[in-house]
Structure 1
Amino acid sequence: MAENQQPQFALQRLYIKDASFEAPNSPMAFTKEWQPEIKLDLNSGARKLDDSHYEVFIKVTVTATNADETAFLVELVQAGLFAMVNIPEEQMKPMLGAMCPNILFPYLRESIDSLVVKGGFPALMLAPINFDALYQQRAAQEAAQQAEAPQATH
């Protein structure tokens, strides 16, 4: 019998790899009118574990500043273990760079909200992020850098 050559894709495990919540100015932060400035730093990545398993992660840092003081700082790494077998090479990068982060993001979003609320602050629902567009931008930047590289040789 021939082996199954069909592409196979599955999320095998979903987990928080790292989480941190700080509220350096509590409880005084709770006595001020709540008009925060929210700063979001986000990136994603992937690593191959073996021939059929990849870890994909999204790392986010959310900083809320209120009345020129840090109200809270949340750092979270949401990760997933994905099984990928017989996926064509040209599809791997978009899957790891866009599709998998799109699967992980709702879990990251819920975890951030939960930490913020448990820290005593109003709910914080991050806006949806288009990882497909981010992946396309990153791929275009990499292509532009590669196009410039041969000209830089001496």
Structure 2
Amino acid sequence: MMDKDKQPGISFDGILLSKESFYRVPSMPDKLKIDLNFSMVLNSLNSSFSNELKTNLICLSNENEEVLKFEFTFVGIFSVVDGEENMDIKNFMEHNSPAIMFPYIREHITSVTQKSGINPILLPPINIIALTKNVENNI
């Protein structure tokens, strides 16, 4: 039974970039239509849990030409703090882990697009759970 006055008893142990692909056309338009989506693969091994959060960012011109394509996967590593678990790990991994990882994703998109010589793409606060289209849960 979950005690709402206690922390979940789950530790965020780190995040790493595992895959990345980036492409942009040489001459970028000023206005871009942004299509952003996510998919997750949740895994567990002993008391360690991971969320492979794949991000796809596609930018289209006003003529619907693909002018930028950015795909990458971050892996978030989590673990249950022995004796302090206060939340179902499956529920945590499906709902809380993407929210914990999202600031890293937002910063990565801004940084890489800025370094590519275009106006940096700044993502607003979003409900990442609503945008996660595919969840493969191996927990």
Instruction: Name the TM-score class by shorter chain.
Output: 0.7 to 0.9
1:113 equivalent in structure 2: 110
1:53 equivalent in structure 2: 48
- Percent identity for Structure 1 against Structure 2: 25
Using the alignment, how far apart are the partners of 1:119 and 1:48 within structure 2?
A: 36
1:63 equivalent in structure 2: 58
TM-score (norm 2): 0.76
Structure 2, unpaired ranges of 5+: 1-7, 135-139
After the TM superposition, which parts of structure 1 deviate over 6 Å for at least 4 consecutive aligned residues?
none
User: Which protein has the larger Cα radius of gyration, Structure 1 or Structure 2?
Assistant: 1
Amino acid at match of 1:128: P
Q: Whose helix proportion is higher, 1 or 2?
A: 1
Structure number with greater CO (CA < 8 Å, separation at least 6) is 2
Indicate conservation of the 8 Å contact 1:76/1:112, yes or no. Answer: no
Change (3 A) 1:131 1:98: farther
Indicate conservation of the 8 Å contact 1:45/1:97, yes or no. Answer: no
Change (3 A) 1:93 1:134: farther
Q: Secondary structure at the match of 1:93?
A: helix
Instruction: Say whether 1:42 aligns with 2:38.
Output: yes
| Cα deviation 1:45-68 (Å, max 9, x = unaligned) | 31012x210111221101111243
CA RMSD of aligned residues (A): 2.6
1:124 equivalent in structure 2: 121
Change (3 A) 1:115 1:37: same
| Shift in Å, 1:44 | 2.1
Instruction: Say whether 1:96 aligns with 2:107.
Output: no
Indicate conservation of the 8 Å contact 1:58/1:105, yes or no. Answer: no
Structure 1, unpaired ranges of 5+: 1-6, 139-154
Using the alignment, how far apart are the partners of 2:9 and 2:92 within structure 1?
A: 12
Q: Secondary structure at the match of 1:104?
A: helix
Using the alignment, how far apart are the partners of 2:72 and 2:125 within structure 1?
A: 16
Amino acid at match of 1:66: S
Using the alignment, how far apart are the partners of 1:42 and 1:105 within structure 2?
A: 11
Q: Secondary structure at the match of 1:73?
A: strand
Q: Secondary structure at the match of 1:122?
A: coil
| Shift in Å, 1:96 | 0.5
